[in-house]
């Protein structure tokens, strides 16, 4: 199976002010004259990790990565004002223009797949390829599946769900997203952090195929926990700032773009039905369902994603 490319450091970093409030951390890795690709992280609010640079051949790709509004090293931290899907789509385009890139590939996983689809549908002339992982189409059923009492995820990870549920009093459990949001929006820092850690433990520990119900997961750092919890609840409460079924409705805008969809068969956070629905609406895209969970670090997901980026750069270089 393919593995991630070796660890790599950015050859250039940028601070890009996209409005009077938000300033983004942007980095470039790989080959300065390589095939350009932009990486879109998940969450929203999760920010970048060093391993995100490693899905791309550094001798052939010019890899652009950035922390989305309110996430990672972008500032202000955990800021939700002027923070919507369409602000982020505009930010991606601003980065492309700032770096003087004519067209690029777009790589996104989980929330990053949602954002990649929204960006490509808004700016199809600027995208020559897509690699999408852990498809999330932002439909109401997808949100309820993982976050609410009538969803299905609680049946699969009951120990972890019990801790997520226990943080909210019984009388507020009819709408868990709203109940958590009230705590994320509290004036009390301790209340905000406690709720964010509970939210992050539920999601961040539910990503891998091999599940340990006591594993704290990937969002235990308070800085990350706060930005993820606040941004996710903010976006969830507003249906990700998308119209109903918008991403499927507008698929004709990007059907001509060479694309690969990678999804774990046992992804509990973003169930495989979403990938199947996207592929059914978009038969030109290549769909790979692999033996994995949600995590981009699961070995079968790594294998499929690296194969996809290798194939994309080869196709683009020979065209």
Are the C-beta atoms of 162 and 155 separated by less than 8 Å?
Answer: no
How far, in Å, CA of 231 to CA of 76, rounded? 13
Which token pair is 252?
């004709």
Give every CB contact of residue 166 below 8 A, 6+ residues apart in sequence: none
Neighbouring CB atoms inside 10 A of 86's CB total 12
Are the C-beta atoms of 198 and 179 separated by less than 8 Å?
Answer: no
Which residues are known catalytic residues? 110, 267, 294
Q: For the chain, count helices (H), then strands (E).
A: 10, 8
3-state helix, strand, coil in the chain (%, to 5): 45, 15, 40
How far, in Å, CA of 93 to CA of 37, rounded? 13
Report which secondary-structure segment, H or E, holds 93: helix 85-98
In sign, the C-alpha dihedral spanning 237, 239, 242, 247 is positive
Half-sphere CA count of 265, side-chain side, radius 13 A:
5
Helix axes 140-147, 176-184, angle to 10 degrees: 70
Nearest to 73 by CA among 7, 8, 15: 15
Query: What residues are paired with 290 via a beta bridge?
Result: 264
């Amino acid at each position: 199976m393919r593995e991630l490319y070796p660890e790599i450091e950015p050859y250039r970093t940028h601070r890009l002010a996209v409005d009077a409030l938000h300033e983004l951390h942007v980095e470039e890795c790989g080959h300065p004259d390589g095939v350009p690709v932009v990486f879109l992280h998940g969450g929203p609010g999760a920010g970048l990790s060093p391993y995100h640079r490693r899905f791309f051949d550094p001798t052939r790709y010019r890899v652009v990565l950035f922390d989305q509004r309110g996430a990672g090293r972008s500032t202000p931290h955990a800021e939700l004002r002027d923070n919507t899907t369409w602000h982020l789509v505009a930010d991606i385009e601003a980065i492309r223009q700032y770096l003087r890139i004519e067209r690029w590939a777009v790589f996104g996983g989980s929330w990053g797949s949602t954002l990649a689809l929204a960006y490509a549908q808004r700016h199809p002339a600027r995208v020559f390829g897509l690699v999408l992982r852990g498809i999330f189409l932002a439909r109401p059923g997808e949100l309820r599946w993982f976050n609410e009492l009538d969803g299905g995820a609680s049946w699969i990870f009951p120990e972890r769900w019990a801790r997520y549920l226990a943080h909210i009093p019984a009388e507020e459990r009819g709408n868990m997203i709203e109940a958590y949001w009230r705590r994320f929006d509290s004036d009390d820092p301790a209340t905000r952090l406690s709720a964010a850690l509970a939210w992050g433990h539920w999601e961040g520990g539910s990503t891998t195929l091999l599940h340990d119900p006591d594993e704290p997961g990937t969002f235990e750092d308070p800085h990350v926990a706060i930005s993820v919890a606040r941004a996710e609840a903010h976006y969830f409460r507003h249906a990700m700032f998308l119209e109903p079924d918008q991403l499927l409705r507008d698929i004709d805008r990007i059907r001509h773009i060479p694309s690969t969809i990678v999804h774990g068969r046992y992804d509990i956070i973003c169930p495989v039905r979403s990938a199947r629905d996207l592929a059914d609406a978009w038969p030109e895209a290549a769909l790979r369902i692999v033996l994995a969970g949600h995590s981009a670090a699961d070995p079968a997901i790594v294998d499929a994603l690296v194969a996809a980026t290798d194939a994309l750069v080869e196709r683009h270089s020979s065209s």
